[in-house]
Amino acid sequence: MVKSLAITRPIAREKQQVQTGKPLTKWSIFLINKKKKVQTNMTVHAMVESIVGCKWSLTVLSLIRQGINRPGAMQREVDGLTTKVLNERLVKLTRFGILHKQIYPESPPRVEYQFTEFGQHFLQIIDSIEKVQAELTSQ
């Protein structure tokens, strides 16, 4: 008899965190749930794992920072990025409160994503990655 497998992968881990509210460390941050903010015991550490653990997340964040902030444009820019996955990432980053989704009621529909104030904090992490990259390259 084998016990059921623990939830382990990034997206699953996130769900688990939200459900159980169990912290990895002592801090808490906010996670946006539908229309209200719900406090959960998720850490930046866990958030970073959950985000970076998902393929294309860093790519998407980089793109938006470069000003490529419309889904269609992103897909055109990146080879191999499918609609489904792109949307999953955008939804997730939005749920995390890192991105804000701006919908323009036009025809054809237009949507733009931008960093929230909260999300801007995360850019530091992207920065540090690029900084390391630069350091290692310059040698």
Residue ranges that bind DNA, judged by CB under 7 A: 2-12, 15, 53-56, 70-73, 80-85, 87-88, 90-91, 101, 103, 108-111
Contact segment (CB under 8 A) with a second copy among 5-13, 32-40, 88-96, 103-111 equals 5-13
User: What would the x/- binding string for a second copy be over residues 50 to 89, using CB under 8 A?
Assistant: --xxxx--xx------------------------------
Residues 106 to 125: which contact a second copy by CB under 8 A?
118, 121-122, 124-125
110: its two tokens: 């237009």
Place of tokens 């801007």: 120
Tell whether residue 38 is a contact of a second copy (CB under 8 A): no
Task: Report residue 125: phi and psi, to 5°.
Answer: -70, -45
Smallest separation (angstroms) from DNA to the CB of 49? 8
Residues near a second copy (CB under 8 A) are 8-10, 13, 27-29, 43-45, 48-49, 52-55, 58-59, 118, 121-122, 124-125, 127-133, 135-137
